[in-house]
């Protein structure tokens, strides 16, 4: 279009056939990567977390926070993740003690995300809690699920699933008794949640409730919708992960693109553009004339 405009100014042509053409919109126009947590925000998160009583729910929250903040997974990916996707890292043909997770993300793009030792430990603690509940004859419908099919992030209370399935059974057959369909072992068959994984919405709500507590600790006004924790959502953890990984890898865009599962490196580069550190340093070096 610019070329034709120049030709028209030079009277080389009287038409600009490209005048109404609009360039392709990029993710940059709709992606606000500044929605991430600062070091001060993370201190608030830590203080809020420390105030919570030591329960399976708290340990599950830690697993969620670390998986998203130190693994960069989308909540849809975290909800679907099972222990079968976690495997040792192979380097130069040898298995190591480090772990990674195989993720199939947007556009069916496969990637392998290294898992920090703290993330693996938190996930194992959460699985240990779920196993303990099963040993207490709770959530028995999930006990027979093979280890590799067990979710990384799972439910701790199955009563809502029982209630939902009873409703489902009623809708399927109006004359059906108010009981669940049982399998050959006498274990209820579940149609709502087959392996006990936390749903995408559950992960979202757990974090929104936690961020609401963070908002109180941070002293944010209830009426101020602009407060960091009032606006925070699950994706803020992924953005935070991206910023930190870029910093720790000396802005290796190709590496970070691979870990995040971005289709285009242009999307990854937006995180660099959003980082004001170098621009602030540059402006501070300027000297006025008066």
DSSP result, 90-119: EETTEEEEEEEEEEE-GGG-EEEEEE-HHH
pLDDT above 60 for 52: yes
pLDDT at residue 278, rounded to an integer = 54
Mean pLDDT of the chain: 78
pLDDT above 80 for 260: no
**What are the structural domains of the chain?**
1-26 (no CATH), 31-171+190-275 (1.10.443.10)
- Say which residue, 178 or 222, is predicted with more confidence: 222
Mean pLDDT of the region 188-208: 79
pLDDT at residue 169, rounded to an integer = 60
* pLDDT band of 244, cuts 50, 70, 90: confident
pLDDT at residue 112, rounded to an integer = 85
The 10s digit of each residue's pLDDT in 54-91 is 999 999 999 999 999 988 898 999 999 999 999 998 88
Count of C-beta atoms within a 10 Å radius of residue 168: 14
pLDDT above 70 for 197: yes
């Amino acid at each position: 279009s610019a070329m034709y405009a120049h030709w028209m100014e030079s009277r080389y042509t009287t038409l600009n056939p490209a005048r109404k053409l609009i360039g392709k919109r990029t993710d940059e126009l709709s992606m606000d990567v500044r929605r991430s947590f600062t070091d001060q925000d993370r201190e608030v998160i830590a203080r809020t977390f420390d105030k919570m009583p030591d329960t399976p729910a708290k340990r599950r929250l830690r697993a969620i926070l670390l998986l998203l903040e130190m693994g960069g997974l989308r909540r849809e990916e975290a909800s679907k993740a099972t222990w079968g996707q976690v495997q040792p890292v192979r380097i130069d043909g040898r298995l190591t003690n480090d772990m990674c997770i195989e993720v199939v993300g947007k556009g069916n793009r496969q990637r392998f995300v290294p898992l920090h030792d703290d993330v693996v430990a938190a996930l194992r603690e959460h699985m240990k809690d779920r196993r303990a509940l099963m040993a207490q004859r709770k959530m028995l419908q999930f006990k027979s699920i093979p280890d590799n099919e067990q979710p990384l992030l799972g439910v701790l209370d199955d009563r809502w699933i029982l209630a939902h399935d009873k409703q489902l059974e009623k809708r399927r057959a109006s004359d059906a008794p108010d009981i669940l369909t049982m399998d050959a072992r006498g274990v209820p068959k579940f149609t709502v949640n087959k392996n006990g994984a936390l749903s995408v919405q559950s992960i979202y709500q757990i974090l929104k409730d936690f961020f609401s507590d963070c908002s109180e600790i941070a002293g944010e006004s209830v009426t101020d919708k602009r407060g960091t924790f009032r606006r925070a959502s699950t994706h803020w953890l992924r953005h935070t992960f991206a910023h930190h990984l870029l910093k720790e890898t000396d802005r290796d865009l190709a590496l970070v693109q691979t870990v995040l599962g971005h289709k285009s490196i242009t999307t990854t580069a937006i995180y660099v553009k959003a980082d004001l550190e170098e621009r602030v340093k540059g402006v501070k070096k300027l000297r006025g004339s008066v």
